Each structure stands twice: as structure tokens, then as C-alpha cells.
């Protein structure tokens, strides 16, 4: 039904739109480094652009200019050799004509830890894939990507990934997902690595006018202006979706709503030899966002994230799921319902304050975020301070009469997976789950093709049975080979300590070197 409606709307829109605007637009990358550059450019140029719900549209030429990071005294050398142009200046694949644009790159992350563990193995990540995006005319935009990865994780990250799998008490030993990627499988044919997982995205959209568009595909989204989001984060895994966004009054008012299909890693039947990939239990979801931006320096938005019970694992039980309105529901078929505010204020084109506040309508807690971001004091330097607080049970809502159950783990044994605000056993909001206080300090600087970053996280997890304090430090430096693909050679160091009342302090040091195309967010700070 939704597919047929979307096709009719797309065709009708294309027939009725004029062709006066010849600028080509694509979706911005969900990458922290590049997002900061885009936000700094938006603040400097005082653009009235709805950016609270990402990804959002940006002109191809403008995006290339932002990512080049040119300065007044320096511009990147343009090479004549085809090999050097592809290595330093251009996308690996590029086609640009009057009515068609296509650009694509190989996606790699070859990361190695030189330090061996107790079994004599090196932790590492080996990612290979591709990413393509482009436009047809001035209205149609599309993208696709695929990443195949094998990893041996650092010990702390291994416990994060395997902990999701430990939630399952059933016959499926391969239950769990890698944050930001997808469901993992044990790689049984080799002893050289532990996890095998993929990330695949793809979308197609039609720009109706200015910042208004219709889009459908399989991808992730992000609500907010900070590093974390307590409302909707890209730290989960991609999901099928249909998105409609409409801007009015010269982008001062924007409404976007997404119909999505989520799933729990709870199979509808036991695995068997003849049916190894039995369907998982599904949820419908609606993510809606209404923003008001009277000036470029101020915006305020109202978010609504709702999951719905599916009838027969094939369709939502309530007609309200299909309607474009949000915020006011009768409650029929709703499994989890989170609403919140999201906003930002930018002063002097360089100082941005932002925040979020959310409640769960099931009466299961609250969450809040406060942050400040400084685009400076010198060009291409970002300094950020952020505080997140998520209450117990916030991402959990149940009609169970036992309302005294406290949820203080991302997924807690003895509860129903479908009662969580989650997809593939990963929370859709803050990736570390509930019952936490978190302080984040981040800074990054880029000088020509050289980059450096520093990140420090202090997290107090207030679990009843296993409270802990986590300190996470990451330092990284490197050289940007190509800003279009964000190909980099980097070296870094992660130092993590975990303190619990009932055990000695756990420390881990993880040095690494990597060659990567840094296109999407990879979350390691747990």
C-alpha cells in the first residue's frame, strides 16, 4: 500500500514541477567529522536550513567546497595525472553532465592493533565495500553503499557486542548486532577473527521544492545537533523506511515524518537445518519532527518516536500508523511512545548551544541533553562539551501490571524485546542504553590535509545490580589523502578504564593504525 502511494506521488510530483532550479542535491553524510564542517559552514553563512533531522539535502557543489577545507592562504593542488587526480582530488568514479551526476568510492577500513592479546592474536578490523550517490536532473537523488567487515574487537568492545547476544535464552547462538553496522555472525571457517557483519544502505528520493522531498530506502537517521542523540541515533542499524519532508515559509517551518519497519532479533520460529533464516519479529515505527526556525541562529523542534505492534508479523494493527500526523494518538497498537524537544542557538556565528529533553508516554522515565559547540577559535577547529542523562527504564514501556520493574541495561533478561525502543537489539536513542550520566569532551582540528582529534568520555552507569564508572579516552592524528572520499591514514590510541564496586579496576589500552575512507560514524566509545 505504502509503496503504491509513494510511486503515484513521485510520478505526479515530477509531472507538475517546473525545471527552473537546475542545482543538484544529495543527502549529507552521517559522519561526525564531516557533519561538524557542514554545521560550521551553515553557521558562518547564516543559512536558514532545517538540519535538526539528518540526513538532509545539500547541493553537491557546496558539499565538495565545504569538505575541501580551503583557507585564504592555501588551496589543494590540482593534478593532471589521472592516477593522482583520483587519489587526491576526485571521487574514484565520477560522471558529471547537465542532467546526470554519479560519484562513487571504494569504502575501506583496514585497522590493526600491533599489540597481541593473551591468545597471540591482534585485534583488527577489515572492511571492504563501496559507496555511490548521484542525481538525475535537478529533482531525483539516490545513494547506495555496502560494507563487508570482519573484526576481532578490543576486549571491552567484544563484551559490548556479545552482551547483546547474551540477552537471548533461545536456540539461536548468533543473536546480536554491532553498533552502527548490522547483525553479526560468528565466522566458523577460520580462527583468525570472531565477528562477521555487514552494513548495506540504499535510497531514492525526489526533491519537490527547496528542502521538501519524498524518499524511500534502507538507511539510518539522526535527530539532534550533538554527538549523541537521546531521540533517534545512527548508532543502531539501517531499516527500511519511507520519508516525507515539507518546508514552508522559506524553511522557517519544516515537518518530516518517517514510516519505518523495525525488528527484534527474536525469531518467529526456532532455527532448523531447513530454515536457517527464519523471519524475525517485526515492529512498525514512526519518527516525526516538526521544527520552527525563525532565524538562522535559532531552531526548536518537537520529536515523536513511536513503535507499533504488527498484526501477524506483516502489518501494524492500527490505521494510525499509516496517517501522516503525529504527536496525538489514541494508543491503539502502540508499543513504545517517546516525545521530546530538540533545539539549538548559535551566537556570533561560532558558538552553538544545543539540547534535548524527552519523556516516555508509558511513564517509564525521562532523558535530557545539554551541549555547547565552538566553531573556532581558529578555522576548522571544533571544541565540544556535552552532557547526557538517561533515566532508568526510559527506552522501555510495557502494559505489564508489574510496573515496578526497573530497566537499567540496554536489554534486560526477563523482559520482552518488543517493549523496547530498539532495532536489531540496539537502542534507537543513546547507544549505551539507560540509567546513565555521561560527560563528553571532544575537539578536532584540520590544517590543510592534516587532522588531529581528542575525545574523552566519563560515564556513570547507575545500574541497580552492576553499577560502574567508565572513563574513555581517544587520541587520533593523521593525513587526509582525499577529502571527497575522506580517505585517511591515521594512528590512534584508546585508553579505557572501568570501575565497579565488586571488582578491581579494568584497564585496556588499544593502539591502532588504519587506512580508511571515513564516510559513516563508527562508535567505539562504550
Share above pLDDT 70 across residues of the chain, in percent, rounded to a whole number:
87
Beta strands in 400-483 (DSSP E): 422-423, 426-427, 436-447, 450-461, 468-482
Domain of 39?
Answer: 2-517
Output the pLDDT for position 418.
85
Kindly tell me if the per-residue pLDDT of 131 is higher than 80: yes
Confidence of residue 37 (pLDDT cuts 50, 70, 90): confident
Higher pLDDT, 73 or 179: 179
Confidence of residue 322 (pLDDT cuts 50, 70, 90): confident
Q: Is 133 inside any structural domain?
A: yes
Give mean pLDDT, residues 497-515.
87
Higher pLDDT, 374 or 156: 374
Q: What is the pTM of this model?
A: 0.90
Q: Is 33 inside any structural domain?
A: yes
Q: Which range is most confident: 172-186, 251-265, 491-505?
A: 251-265
The CATH number of residue 303's host domain is 2.40.160.130
Confidence of residue 12 (pLDDT cuts 50, 70, 90): very low
Q: Which residues lie closer than 8 Å to 423 by C-beta, 6 or more apart?
A: 236, 237, 239, 262, 263, 283, 285
Closest CA to 253 of 224, 207, 291, 289: 291
Q: How far apart are the first and last CA of the chain?
A: 40
Which DSSP helix (H) or strand (E) runs through 135?
strand 122-136
Q: How far is CA 68 from CA 33, 61, 73, 454, in A?
A: 13, 11, 14, 22
Q: Is 297 inside any structural domain?
A: yes
Q: Is 60 inside any structural domain?
A: yes
Q: Is 522 inside any structural domain?
A: no
Higher pLDDT, 237 or 314: 237
Kindly tell me if the per-residue pLDDT of 296 is higher than 80: yes
How far apart are alpha carbons 292 and 290 in whole angstroms?
A: 7
Q: In the beta sheet, which residues pair with residue 385?
A: 372, 441
Q: Is 497 inside any structural domain?
A: yes
Q: Out of 14-18, 328-332, 342-346, 355-359, which region has the weakest mean confidence (pLDDT)?
A: 14-18
Q: Is 525 inside any structural domain?
A: no
Kindly tell me if the per-residue pLDDT of 319 is higher than 70: yes
How far apart are alpha carbons 279 and 148 in whole angstroms?
A: 22
- When the pLDDT of each residue in the chain is averaged and rounded to a whole number, the result is 86
> Where do we find the cell 541495561?
409
| Dmax (CA) of the chain | 71
How far apart are alpha carbons 141 and 186 in whole angstroms?
A: 36
Kindly tell me if the per-residue pLDDT of 6 is higher than 70: no
Kindly tell me if the per-residue pLDDT of 174 is higher than 70: no
Q: Is 524 inside any structural domain?
A: no
Q: Which residues lie closer than 8 Å to 30 by C-beta, 6 or more apart?
A: 54, 55, 220, 222, 234, 520, 521
Kindly tell me if the per-residue pLDDT of 10 is higher than 50: no
Q: Are 107 and 130 in contact (CB under 8 A)?
A: yes
Kindly tell me if the per-residue pLDDT of 52 is higher than 50: yes
pLDDT digits (tens, 9 = 90+) for 479-492: 999 988 999 999 99
Higher pLDDT, 310 or 514: 514
User: What's the structural domain count of the chain?
Assistant: 1
Q: Out of 18-22, 98-102, 150-154, 513-517, which region has the weakest mean confidence (pLDDT)?
A: 18-22
Output the pLDDT for position 13.
44
Kindly tell me if the per-residue pLDDT of 522 is higher than 70: yes
Closest CA to 315 of 287, 283, 291: 283
Confidence of residue 18 (pLDDT cuts 50, 70, 90): very low
pLDDT digits (tens, 9 = 90+) for 263-285: 988 877 765 555 566 788 888 99
Amino acid at each position: 500500500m505504502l509503496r503504491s502511494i509513494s510511486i503515484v506521488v513521485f510520478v505526479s510530483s515530477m509531472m507538475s514541477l517546473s525545471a527552473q532550479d537546475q542545482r543538484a542535491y544529495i543527502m549529507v553524510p552521517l559522519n561526525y567529522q564531516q557533519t561538524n564542517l557542514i554545521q560550521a559552514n551553515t553557521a558562518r553563512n547564516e543559512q536558514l536550513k532545517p538540519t535538526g533531522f539528518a540526513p538532509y539535502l545539500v547541493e553537491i557543489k557546496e558539499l565538495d567546497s565545504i569538505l575541501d577545507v580551503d583557507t585564504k592562504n592555501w588551496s589543494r593542488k590540482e593534478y593532471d595525472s589521472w592516477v593522482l587526480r583520483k587519489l587526491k582530488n576526485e571521487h574514484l568514479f565520477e560522471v558529471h553532465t547537465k542532467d546526470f551526476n554519479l560519484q562513487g568510492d571504494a569504502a575501506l577500513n583496514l585497522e590493526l592493533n600491533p599489540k597481541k592479546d593473551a591468545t597471540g592474536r591482534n585485534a583488527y578490523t577489515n572492511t571492504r565495500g563501496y559507496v555511490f550517490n548521484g542525481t538525475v536532473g535537478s529533482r531525483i537523488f539516490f545513494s547506495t553503499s555496502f560494507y563487508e567487515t570482519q573484526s576481532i574487537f578490543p576486549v571491552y568492545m567484544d563484551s559490548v557486542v556479545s552482551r547483546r547476544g547474551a540477552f537471548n535464552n533461545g536456540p539461536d547462538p548468533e543473536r546480536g548486532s554491532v553498533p552502527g553496522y548490522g547483525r553479526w555472525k560468528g565466522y566458523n571457517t577460520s580462527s583468525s577473527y570472531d565477528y562477521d557483519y555487514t552494513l548495506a544502505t540504499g535510497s531514492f528520493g525526489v526533491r519537490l521544492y527547496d528542502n521538501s522531498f519524498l524518499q524511500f530506502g534502507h538507511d539510518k537517521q539522526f535527530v539532534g545537533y550533538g554527538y549523541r542523540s537521546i531521540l533517534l541515533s545512527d548508532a543502531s542499524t539501517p531499516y527500511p523506511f519511507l520519508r516525507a519532508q515539507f518546508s514552508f515559509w522559506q524553511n522557517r517551518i519544516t515537518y518530516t515524518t518517517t514510516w519505518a519497519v523495525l525488528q527484534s532479533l527474536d525469531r518467529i520460529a526456532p532455527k532448523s537445518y531447513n530454515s536457517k533464516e527464519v523471519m524475525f519479529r517485526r515492529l512498525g515505527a514512526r519518527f516525526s519532527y516538526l521544527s520552527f526556525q525563525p532565524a538562522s541562529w535559532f531552531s526548536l523542534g518537537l520529536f515523536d518516536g513511536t513503535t507499533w505492534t504488527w498484526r501477524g508479523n506483516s502489518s501494524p494493527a492500527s490505521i494510525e500508523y499509516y496517517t501522516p500526523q503525529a504527536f496525538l494518538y489514541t494508543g491503539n497498537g502502540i508499543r513504545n511512545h517517546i516525545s521530546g524537544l530538540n533545539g539549538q542557538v548559535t551566537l556570533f556565528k561560532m558558538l552553538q548551544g544545543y539540547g534535548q529533553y524527552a519523556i516516555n508516554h508509558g511513564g517509564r522515565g525521562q532523558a535530557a541533553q545539554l551541549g555547547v559547540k565552538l566553531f573556532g577559535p581558529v578555522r576548522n577547529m571544533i571544541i565540544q562539551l556535552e552532557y547526557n542523562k538517561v533515566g532508568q527504564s526510559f527506552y522501555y514501556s510495557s502494559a505489564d501490571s508489574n510496573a515496578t520493574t526497573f530497566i537499567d541495561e540496554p536489554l534486560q533478561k526477563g523482559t520482552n524485546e518488543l517493549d523496547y525502543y530498539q532495532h536489531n537489539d540496539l537502542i534507537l536513542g543513546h547507544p549505551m542504553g539507560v540509567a546513565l550520566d555521561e560527560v563528553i569532551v571532544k575537539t578536532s582540528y584540520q590544517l590543510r590535509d592534516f587532522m588531529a582529534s581528542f575525545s574523552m568520555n566519563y560515564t556513570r552507569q547507575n545500574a541497580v545490580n552492576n553499577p560502574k564508572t567508565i572513563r574513555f579516552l581517544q587520541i587520533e592524528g593523521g593525513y587526509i589523502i582525499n577529502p571527497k572520499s575522506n580517505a585517511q591514514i591515521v594512528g590512534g590510541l584508546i585508553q579505557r578504564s572501568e570501575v565497579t564496586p565488586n571488582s578491581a579496576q579494568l584497564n585496556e589500552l588499544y593502539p591502532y593504525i588504519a587506512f580508511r575512507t571515513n564516510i559513516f560514524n563508527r562508535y567505539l566509545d562504550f
